[in-house]
Amino acid sequence: MIRVPPQRGGWLEVVCGPMFSGKSEEMIRRLRRAEIAGQRVILFKPRIDSRYDVADVVSHAGVRMSAVPVDGYAEVVARARSHDVVGIDEVQFFEQEVVHAALELADGGARVICSGLDQDFRRLPFGPVPELLARAEFVDKLQAVCHRCGGPATTTQRLVDGRPAPYSGDTIVVGAAEQYEARCRDCHEPGAGAVAAAA
């Protein structure tokens, strides 16, 4: 695969995949490389995600980078000013308007990197991520290891007391490792109510 970043102007990259696929690590890797190149870098995260540390983006593997918690469009655009590279982690938790922030910044000349879950625990497209995928110049879909069979995992399984979470549960519950597993398509278990909801 050949990737040619634009010679001038900005662009949008998306790093997506299930939980435990290394999205935050990949985000941090890209931003660090830009920093080493002397570029002005800023990383945002949604204010909702308070796990581990308020001011840091921390991957499950423990890699960390300081991040600015923001609420959405206005704050992202205002605080991203004068930065060459703008990262937005856990982008699935933002409202749809975050897409406009990403596009505005890319149109204004910034390299914008968004990372997040492409599917929720029901395997439905998650929040603003589908539109970001469609709008991006570059897309990477990372895989995790299936908790059940060891194969390549592309979905996130939510478990409540060790059983598949009901289909009607809240989409957003920020949680720890014991509540979620990466699963392959074959091992992903729809929660109770999935058939009725899909019909």
Torsion of CA 186, 187, 193, 194, to 10 degrees: -30
Could you tell me the smallest distance in angstroms from the CB atom of residue 124 to Zn ion?
19
SS (H, E, C) 159-172: EECCEECCCCCCCC
Q: Which two tokens stand for residue 184?
A: 């392959």
Interaction with Zn ion in 73-112: which residues (CB under 5 A)? none
User: Within the chain, where are the H helices?
Assistant: 23-36, 73-80, 98-107, 129-135, 194-198
The residue annotated as part of the active site, out of 90, 97, 104, 189, is 90
> Of the candidates 37, 61, 149, 174, which one interacts with Zn ion according to CB under 5 A?
149
Could you tell me the smallest distance in angstroms from the CB atom of residue 199 to Zn ion?
26
| Contact between 184 and Zn ion per CB under 5 A | yes
| Contact between 187 and Zn ion per CB under 5 A | yes
Known catalytic residue at 131: no
SS3 99: helix
Residues forming contacts to Zn ion in the complex (CB under 5 A) are 146, 148-149, 151, 184, 187
Q: Catalogue the active-site residues.
A: 90
